[in-house]
Structure formats: structure tokens, C-alpha cells
Amino acid sequence: MFALRLYDGSINSDIFSHWVREALLPELPKNSVIVMDNAAFHKRSDIQAIIEEHGHEIVWLPPYSPDLNPIEKMWAWIKQIRKEWRMDCIDTLCFYLLWIGLGWVLDDCTIYVFCYFICRGIAEIFFFKKR
């Protein structure tokens, strides 16, 4: 399953709702389990309702448990790169993530899997023009 969309700026419940409806739900197999953290934009009732109406189940991670949410390590790493390399636009950040991901051998499976999907999505968007 692959439901990548790039958004420039912070994510809010409207953007998340759009992504759920337009990108995630069409790609999910029937009766999927969606694991979400407790970010405020995940909690809007209409988002939860549409997920459940499509026959999927939401499982919530315990609050304040980043150790149970491996993607947090990846987001911290991306934010660090963005700050250190002074990247102000998403296109530049995507280019560098693609460049790093193509030649990087990683020990951490979580980071490897995330980089694979990010690089695949970036390649599809920028090289195959799927927008």
C-alpha cells in the first residue's frame, strides 16, 4: 500500500482529512487496521467516522509513547537535516532525501523501510509526474 502526498507546511485536520479521503482510503485493503498516534489532527470525529464507515479499525497508540511510534525517529532525523542544511523548500528537501536514500545502507529497518517509501514516492512524483 502506498499513499504518499507531499504538503508544504504544517499538517492540520483539514489536510489530514483530505489525505485520508483522497489517498489513504482508496489504497487500503478491506478491513485494515490503521495505527495512529494522538496528534490533534488525527482526532477529528468526521475523520474517524469515515475510516470506520469504510470498514477499517483505528488502533490508538498510548499517549506520550514515542518509543512505540518508530516514525518519530525518522521525522526527528528529517527535521534535523532540514535545519542543518537550511532547506526552505520541500523540493530541495525531497531531492536530498532521495539522494541520501539511494546510496545509504542502513542498519535500522524502520529507517530503511521509511526511506524506501519516501524515495519511491519522490521518484514517482518528480520523475513520473504523478501529481
- Kindly tell me if the per-residue pLDDT of 19 is higher than 70: yes
The whole-number average pLDDT for the span 39-51 is 93
Structure-block grid coordinates of residue 49: 467516522
For residue 21, what is its C-alpha cell? 479521503
User: How confident is the model over 91-105, as a mean pLDDT?
Assistant: 58
> What mean pLDDT value characterizes the chain?
74
Q: Is the dihedral of CA 100, 104, 108, 110 positive or negative?
A: positive
Q: Which three cell numbers stand for residue 1?
A: 500500500
Q: How far is residue 49's CA from residue 124's CA, in Å, rounded to a whole number?
A: 31
Would the pTM of this model clear 0.85, i.e. be above it?
Answer: no
Pair 47, 79 in one domain = no
**In this predicted model, which residue has the larger pLDDT, 63 or 126?**
63
The number of folded domains in the chain is: 2
- The residue behind cell 523540493 is 91
For 12-26, what is the mean pLDDT? 92
Distance CA 21, CA 37 (A): 18
Residue 61 sits in the same domain as residue 74: no
Contact between 3 and 29 (Cβ < 8 Å): no
Query: Given this model, what pLDDT does residue 105 score?
Result: 41
Q: Place 130 in a pLDDT band, splitting at 50, 70 and 90.
A: very low
Domain boundaries, position 46: 10-65
| CATH (domain of 25) | 3.30.420.10
